[in-house]
Amino acid sequence: MRTPGPKTMTTTEASNPLLTCGKHPRFSEITPDSVREAIPSLLETASIEFNAYEQCIEPTWSGIFDRRRRILDPLGYAWGITSHLMGVLNSDDLREVHEEMQPKVIEYFTRIGQSKPVYEALEALKNGDGWAQLNGPQQRLLDKELIDMKLSGISLEGEEKERYNAIAKDLGELSTGFSNAVLDSRKAFELMLTEKADTKGLPATLLQAAAASAAAKGSEGANAEEGPWRITLDAPILVPFLQHSQNREQRETAYRAMITVASSGKFDNQERIEDILSLRKEKAELLGFNSHAEISVSTKMAEKVEAVDELTSDLRAVAFPKAKEELAELIAYARKKTNDENLELAHWDMAFWAERMREEQYDLSDEELRPYFPFPRVLEGLFAVTKRLFDVTVEAADGDVDVWHEDVRFFRIKNNSGEDIASFYLDPYSRPENKRGGAWMNDVIGREKLEDGTQQLPTAVLVCNQSPPTGDAPSLMTHREVETLFHEFGHGLQHMLTTVDLPDAAGINCVEWDAVELPSQFMENWTYHKATVMNFARHWKTDDPLPTELFDRLVAAKNYRAATGVMRQLYLGGFDMELHHRYSPGKDEKVKEVKARVNSKMSVMPPLETDRFECGFSHIFAGGYSAGYYSYKWAEVLSADAFGAFEDAGLDDEEALAATGRRFRDTVLAQGGSRHPMEVFQDFRGRAPSTEALLRHTGLT
């Protein structure tokens, strides 16, 4: 996002924290009234300026792109912050104003995407003498802009255009409604444990978190020893509960709640799903496509649905037989341990017995590892490997900027000369009362060379939902939470270490969606790298290092039930693609029948008849992954192969690691969307990507 040109700041701009485009937001001052005041004003100004812009567009790079960005950035900045707060500090008042303003914002940006004067200027630049004057990144952006405008309905007229625009607004409202229903439904569930006997098997960290949750909800005096203990659908509580609770009945209650989130009553998303799918298909047909999936993949590396199907089929052929073996092994193990040869495992038994078998096979449990992964030390380790690989330093700068919650941290990134090159916010802990689940990265400010010659530095927001601190203990992380932190930081690095000065191609901007997970999944590999992990894994009380044999068991267990995990991802991606490519909403087939069809190919243990997990599948119905969930596996091929370059260089050779890390920084992280990701990958790896490393890393070869 761009800082507007120099001008005198009015009282309104000084008083409204959403009118400070390009600066770190004054988060503590932002209220729903700030949104209600700022957005209409920004919309009015942007509309007037865009109308004038359309009257006299110069078919040059500056005349089209630079001028338009100056008009659009203030509104994009303010609306981006509003949307961010919807995810991390949700409230009824904020929802109300967001729902009020969203249709107007969508209508405005839809109009921008359908501006014929802009489209004609772009074509004139493309087909005229000015094309040869553009550099490679500029030519790439111009081509992608023409495609985006075609996909925004630029060719539509009359009733078709009106219908397209109505669909865009409806989809925005449905997406927001879907997300809010998931948050509210998850908040509405609780399982209160009041008897000590009901906590049998539960680890101390979970008891502390569950008691803290009960206390926060009004159970005065709740503590880990005496309770009560509140079990919620918040991942740091739900996951260990399903893994460790010896009360099978209560596991069933929690599991059934998990798979029916937002599927009934006032939070029911089932009708929204049908509406979303129907509108997406109608929108695709208006644009001349057969399905929403065809639109989605047309702007990605895959380019065609058939390429996605091919990758899915290849991975399924390897993983499905092994996943069946893993299920048979788990059933046999549970039967042996219970002395019941006829035992049938239910879905709420799977995590419990899988954890028991993992503990026995590898003498390892998350609870044994947690004390060695205190959040402050993990952060130090993350920043140390970043320094070692990419030659940049991360320094805490808490207090330098305003934040939206007391738990939020702020950091600056410096180059090897000590100069600031980027910054980021980190919101690490779960807050189920007002923060949506999952983990993600957003940008607040993008890199850009400003008109006065100064460099605008990028700022990212990293959001996780890990276990919060309890009592006198810091956040003690599971290894999966450590992986998630490294993952999101990988996204952040691509935004922050970009060297591209074109804002529309800097960082993750303009990166094909199925390549955007490359840096994030690449960073996860370092959570299994011995030198990296042993550098930060120390007991939070004694400061003793993680025992070597415990690390070795962690690595040995890395691919435990890996085929099951691969098939889960393929199932989600396959279901997403079926819904958006082969399903016809409103016809004879229903969503549950599509799910059954995909399960017959992808699941070794079919879901319950009551399973409605799709009602909480925010990635594809409220996020950016519609007909694109396959991107995780597509990018995992790239990330595994990229890490293979470090393996080839020698993971114990610091000099070779540093050299390879600099090359990764200067290609994948630095070039962002300025070039096609295949070209960038080949620059780094020296060849096209191969699936060999992924199959090897997951133990499937």
Terminal Cα-to-Cα distance of the chain (whole angstroms): 45
In a domain, 124, yes or no: yes
Whether residue 274 is contained in a domain is answered as no
Cis peptide before 469 (omega within 30 of 0): no
Copy the structure tokens of residue 462. 């990293």
Residue 152: both structure tokens together? 């925004």
Residues 145 and 208 in one domain: no
Region 316-344: mean pLDDT is: 97
- pLDDT at residue number 588: 77
For the segment 201-221, the average pLDDT, to the nearest whole number, is 95
Which pLDDT belongs to residue 13? 62
Identify whether residues 401 and 457 lie together within a single domain: yes
Count of domains in the chain? 3
- Cβ atoms of 25 and 17 within 8 Å: the answer is yes
Burial-class residue 30 by CB neighbours within 10 Å (0-12, 13-18, 19+).
Answer: buried
Q: What is the pLDDT of residues 409-447, one digit of tens each?
A: 999 999 999 999 999 999 999 999 999 999 999 999 999
Check which CATH number belongs to the domain holding 21 and give it: 1.20.1050.40
Percentage, residues of the chain above pLDDT 70:
98
Q: What is the pLDDT of residue 10?
A: 46
Does residue 633 lie in a domain region?
no
Residue 62 and residue 194 in one domain: no
What's the average model confidence in pLDDT over 264-291? 97
Query: Does 552 lie in the same domain as 407?
Result: yes
> Tokens in use for 22?
């390009």
Q: Rounded CA gap, 194 and 91, in Å?
A: 30
Domain check: are 428 and 529 in the same one?
yes
> Do 398 and 452 fall within a single domain?
yes
Whether residue 126 sits in one domain with residue 227:
no
Distance, in Å, from the CA atom of 681 to the CA atom of 170, rounded to the nearest integer, reads: 38
Band of the pLDDT at 219, cuts 50, 70, 90?
very high
Coil, strand or helix: which one is 506? coil
**Do 541 and 408 fall within a single domain?**
yes
Res. 245: pLDDT tops 50 = yes
Domain of residue 211: give its range.
189-260
Say yes or no: 383 and 530 in one domain. Answer: yes
Read off the amino acid at residue 635: A
DSSP state of 5: P
- In the prediction, which pLDDT does 5 show? 38
Supply the pLDDT for residue 129. Answer: 94
Mean pLDDT of the chain: 95
Q: Could you tell me if 374 and 513 lie in one domain?
A: yes
Statement to judge: residues 80 and 203 lie in one domain: no
Cα–Cα distance for residue pair 129/189, rounded to 1 Å: 63
Boundary residue ending a domain (512, 533, 556): 556
Residue 554 identity = L
pLDDT at 4 over 50: no
Distance CA 385, CA 402 (A): 28
For residue 452, pLDDT over 90 is answered with no
Q: In the block, which residue shows the tokens 């207090």?
A: 399
Spatial separation of the C-alpha atoms in residues 88 and 249, rounded to whole Å: 33
CATH code: domain of residue 434: 1.10.1370.40
- Domain contains 147: yes
Residue finishing a domain among 225, 260, 295: 260
C-beta of residue 479 within 8 angstroms of C-beta of residue 373:
yes
What is the pLDDT, as a whole number, of residue 633? 95
Specify the DSSP class assigned to residue 538.
Answer: B
Token pair in block for residue 339 = 């002395």
- The CA distance from 590 to 571, in Å, is 17
- Residue 488 designated active-site: yes
| Residue 536 contacts residue 378 (beta carbons within 8 Å) | yes
Work out the number of other CB atoms within 10 angstroms of the CB of residue 331: 17
3-state secondary structure of 289: coil
Show which of 99, 129, 151 is a domain's final residue: 151
Question: Could you tell me which of 45, 604, 127, 59 has the C-alpha nearest to residue 321?
Answer: 604
Per-residue pLDDT, 98:
97
Give the integer Cα–Cα distance in Å for 258 and 142: 45
Does 668 map to a domain? no
pLDDT at res. 8: 37
Q: What does each C-alpha distance from 595 to 266, 274, 598, 633 come to in angstroms? A: 24, 14, 5, 20
> Which residue in 145, 326, 367, 488 is the catalytic one?
488
* Cβ atoms of residues 167 and 279 within 8 Å: yes
Q: What are phi and psi of 315, to 5 degrees?
A: -70, -40
Residue 442 CA to residue 88 CA, distance in Å, equals: 12
Helix (H) / strand (E) containing 229: strand 229-231
Residue 581 neighbours by CB under 8 Å, 6+ apart: 291, 292, 293, 294, 305, 627
Q: Judge whether 661 lies within some domain.
A: no
89 and 229 in a single domain? The answer is no
Order of strands across the sheet with 420-429? 393-396, 409-414, 420-429, 459-466, 440-445
Contact 682, 642 (CB under 8 A): no
pLDDT of residue 11: 41
Is 643 within a domain?
A: no
Task: Tokens for 121, please give them.
Answer: 């200027």
Average pLDDT over residues 297-310: 96
Q: In the predicted model, what is the mean pLDDT of residues 615-627?
A: 96
**What's the CA gap between 548 and 654, in Å, rounded?**
20
508 contacts 495 by C-beta, under 8 angstroms: yes
**Tokens for 511?**
């990166």
DSSP string, 435-498: S-SS-EEEEEE--EE-TTSPEEPPEEEEEEEEPPPBTTB--B--HHHHHHHHHHHHHHHHHHS-
The pLDDT score that the predictor gives to residue 603 is 96
Q: Is residue 463 part of a domain?
A: yes
- Going by C-alpha positions, the residue among 439, 482, 238, 430 that lies closest to residue 351 is 238
pLDDT band at 12, cuts 50/70/90? low
Both tokens assigned to 275: 């509406």
